Structure 1
């Protein structure tokens, strides 16, 4: 799949810009969700520290899995290596944002 996406980005500058735009949208959106949900949790205490630890743990686990898959499945002749690493970082923050939102809904509803 990564090879197909890499070839698709090589076809034109527009495809590359679409990829970077979608990746940036996911990254910034996830950061905003993490920031706003973190503000809604309130001041740091024992309860919120446990919630933050769960969020960071899910993000770290996702980072390990995504990096392992990337290293094991990607060929060495890939052209847009940095863009894929940033995409995977955006996926990690998306997982953290989804987990934060889920924990917020569970604890406050």
Structure 2
């Protein structure tokens, strides 16, 4: 089973790795895209954290669920994304997905609770 997972990761990410390593501009494009994804996710989390307000009985459950979603995305990224090749970009993508998922959850929850 572990060999099948490694082959799947190699099949999916080898084309991205070869494209990124073919020139410096491709590498920089991938790096900046990953960094931009992380920054957008962090901005979403920050904006909606302050819009929802200080922690109390109602907002504590929202913050705990958003943290759980972020943790789940990080763990899922550890299973799916490769760790050997281009680990810095994989790190940025993994945490970008986690922040983005948490930010989307906070945005949906904010609009659900405060759109009255």
Partner of 1:103: 109
- The separation in 2 between residues aligned to 1:75 and 1:85, in whole angstroms, is 9
Partner of 1:17: 28
- The separation in 2 between residues aligned to 1:82 and 1:25, in whole angstroms, is 14
TM-superposed CA distance for 1:20, in Å, is 1.0
TM-superposed CA distance for 1:75, in Å, is 7.8
After the TM superposition, which parts of structure 1 deviate over 6 Å for at least 4 consecutive aligned residues?
A: none
TM-score after normalising by structure 2: 0.83
TM-score after normalising by structure 1: 0.88
- The separation in 2 between residues aligned to 1:69 and 1:94, in whole angstroms, is 17
SS in 1 for 2:54: coil
Cα separation, partners in 2 of 1:75 and 1:48, compared to 1, 3 Å: closer
1:60-79 equivalence runs, <5 A: 60-70=71-81, 74=82, 76=84, 78=85
Partner of 1:6: 17
Structure 1 runs not aligned, ≥5 long? none
RMSD: 1.4
Structure 2 runs not aligned, ≥5 long? 1-11
